[in-house]
Each structure stands twice: as structure tokens, then as C-alpha cells.
Amino acid sequence: MSAREPVGAGDAAAAADAADAADVVERTRRFVRDVVLPAEPPAGIALDAAGRRALQQQAREAGVFAPHAPVRLGGLGLPLGAWSPVFQEAGYSPVGPAALNCMAPDEGNMLLLERIATAEQQERFLAPLAAGEVRSCFAMTEPHPGAGSDPAALATTARRVDGGWVLDGEKRFVSGAEEAGFAIVMARTPDLGDDAATLFLVRTDAGGFELGHRVRTLERAITGGHPHVSLSGCFVRDDDVLGTPGDGFRHAQVRLGPARLTHCMRWLGLARRAHDTALDRVRHRELFGARLSDLGIAQGMIADSEIDLASSAALIDRAAAALEGGDVRGGAQASSIAKVHCSEAVGRVVDRAVQLCGGDGVTLELPLAAFLDEVRPFRVYDGSSETHRWAIARRAVARRRREVEGGERVLDRAEGRR
């Protein structure tokens, strides 16, 4: 657009949306620093239910509650492309996302319910979840040899009965299940085809839904544990099938792609907190007659962390734009790339911060050691780095094959060959 051309209504609306999003970022930044950081538990990681409710009420009053949720349900209605800076500011504290009600697994389940659920299901499940009145979980991962990094290994089954379905199987790593009011359960539905799977909305007080062994993990910010869940003759009404029966794998991608990115966003915020902690230390710490910030070896570590933070943010934005634009193939590749890079980059940033803070970095006087525990599992969660690298490589080879074969077909037509 030239300087003489008038700004159109679409451009004005886009500018207004950008301004609104920037305002949410700034409000979130102030809220986390002024309200959440002083309220962090002694270990700085997990909130109990009372603490979460108190901070969520303060978040509502500050106008930062549920930034991703629909406005009609009390959220701020930000589009996916505007989430990253907000979620990063929330993630500056391990308990910030819980305070804003944009923590996993609830945030991902809200998106799935908004896009797939019926109006009646949204009223029963999404509305109370978006309001912070109930928590949820997503039950896909299973004990070996069931579904893990490979969802196609799904072993839990659902069979048709009068008026609904009966679920049987065992899940594990069902994050948040101990506090959840309902679960979104993925089960194989062989009645609909050998490779068919379906998503079900299951209340955690339903008969046949039982919590089992609690898996103890390094990170603790996601409250409600990561337990096994047993489904034994668990009846689910037809009204509680989420989406189209048999399309569970396709529906799950609606959640899994963006959820990878929101994990990246939140933990990138935590890495920024670790980096700021290290920057404050090197500005004042003197060593060998000079400030640590003036020593070349420290400057190299600081620079590398700046590069990791900036590249992670850029890859998140690129993936979010692809997903929001409906580019299914490109979005899958971009989200895998962002997930691998961010999960490894945030670990490097936090580890460098520990090193730059020296002895204090490995004590509980600073939160850095706890931050290491928080970010390390991300290289495994949401698909391991190795699994995503395998998928990234396969997509790259397939893309090049399409390009070459497409070019050959164009040449054949141009030369009159068949």
C-alpha cells in the first residue's frame, strides 16, 4: 500500500485487533509480575485448589482470564496467532498459566471442544471449563504396547450397545486426572473399521472410570497428577461422542498441533524468567577483577540464550500462522519443527542460567533447579524429539517427491508427452 492510499476497513480492524492483543500482553505482564510472582508457593511450582481459585478471580478482575477462550464464555477471544506473547507472559511464572486458566490440559481441551463439540456439549462441558469451575484431562496415552508416540497403537476399545458405547482399556500419563471433572478419551472403534477411533466425553465419576497408579514425574506445574486410568465396562451415551464416530484421529489433530505450540509458549516464558535471573546475576557478580557480564565466556552463553529465545519465538509464530491459515500439511511440519527446537532450546537456556548463577543456581535459594525439572520432560511429552524428527524427515522427503513429480508432469504436458 502506498502512502496515499486510504486505510481500508479490514486494515483498520486488523490494526485494532493488534492493539487489543498488545494490551492483553501488557496487562498479563503486569498481572504476573505484580500479583502472581508474590503469590508463588515456596517451591514456586504448584498451586493448591484454593490458591488457584484466588488467583483466577484476581485474573478476572485484571481482565486477563482465559485469553484464548471465546468471549461468549467469559474469555478474551484472542486468535491462535496472538496467543504466543500472552502465554509467554503467563509462563513467566510456573503458576501463571493456571491463574489465567490457560494451562494444559484444559487449554487444549477448550480448543477441541470449541471446534468439535455440539452446542449442547459445549454448554455441559466447555462453558464450566472456560469459567474455571471444573478441570479436565485428555486420555490418549497408554501403557506399552499401547498408544504413546504412535497413536496408531491405540489399544483401548469402544463397542456399540443400546444407547451408547462401552469402553474398556487402560490409559496412563492422564495429566490432571486427579482433579478433573471429565475426560476426553480416545478409543478404537472396530465396529466402524479396522483403523477407526472415536473421542468420548467421560465424566470421571462414571461407573467403570477409575484412577490407578499415580506416575511421579519431574515437573509439577500441572496439578492433578499423571495417573493411570482404568476403563472397565464404562458406559458412554451417544450424546457424549465428541465429533464424528470413527474420526477420532482426525479430530485429535485439532487439539494436538496447537497444544504442542502452547506448551512451547508457556515454557518459553519460563526460560525467559531463567534468563532474566541470570542477567541480573551477571550484572552484579564480580569475578577475577571484572563483572561476570564483561567476561567473554559468559557473554557467549548469554548470546546463545538470546538466540535460542528469539528463534523459538519465531518458529512458534510461523507454526501458529500455518495452523491458523488452515495449512494442514504445512502446519503439521511447522509445529513439529517448533516443538523439537523449543523443547531443546528452553532446556539449554535454563541450564545456562544455572551455570551462570554458579553455586546458587543449584540450590533452592533460586528457582532455577526447579525450572530444569519443569522443562526437561518436554523433550518427551507431546511426542519425543526423536519421533518428531522422524516425522519431519518423512514430510520433507514426501514434499520433495511431490515437487519433482509435479515438475515432471508439467514438462510432459509442455512437450506433448503422455
Task: Dump pLDDT digits (tens) for 48-101.
Answer: 889 999 999 999 999 999 999 999 999 999 999 999 999 999 999 999 999 999
For the chain, how long is the longest CA-to-CA vector?
Answer: 80
pLDDT tens readout for residues 349-403: 999 999 999 999 999 899 999 999 999 999 999 999 999 999 999 999 999 999 9
| Residue 322 pLDDT level (bands cut at 50, 70, 90) | very high
pLDDT at 48: 84
According to the model, what pLDDT value does residue 151 have?
79
Rounded Cα distance, 141 and 143, in Å: 7
Task: Please provide the CATH number assigned to the domain covering 136-248.
Answer: 2.40.110.10
- CA dist 187 and 156 (Å) reads 5
CA distance 265 to 405: 37
Tell me what pLDDT residue 416 has.
Answer: 64
d(CA 307, CA 345): 9
> Rounded to whole angstroms, how far apart are CA atoms 8 and 28?
30
pLDDT, position 412: 66
pLDDT in tens, 215-228: 988 888 888 999 99
Domains in the chain: boundaries: 9-130, 136-248, 249-405
The answer to whether the beta carbons of residues 316 and 84 sit under 8 Å apart is yes
Reply yes or no on whether the pLDDT at 3 is more than 60: no
CATH architecture assigned to 9-130: Orthogonal Bundle (1.10)
Distance CA 177, CA 162 (A): 28
Structure confidence at residue 150 (pLDDT): 80
Contacts of 374 by beta carbon, 8 Å cutoff, 6+ apart: 45, 94, 218, 219, 220, 221, 267, 270
Q: What are phi and psi of 241, to 5 degrees?
A: -75, 130
Q: Quick one: cell of 254?
A: 485439532
Assign domain 249-405 to its CATH superfamily: Butyryl-CoA Dehydrogenase, subunit A, domain 3 (1.20.140.10)
In this predicted model, which residue has the larger pLDDT, 395 or 18?
A: 395
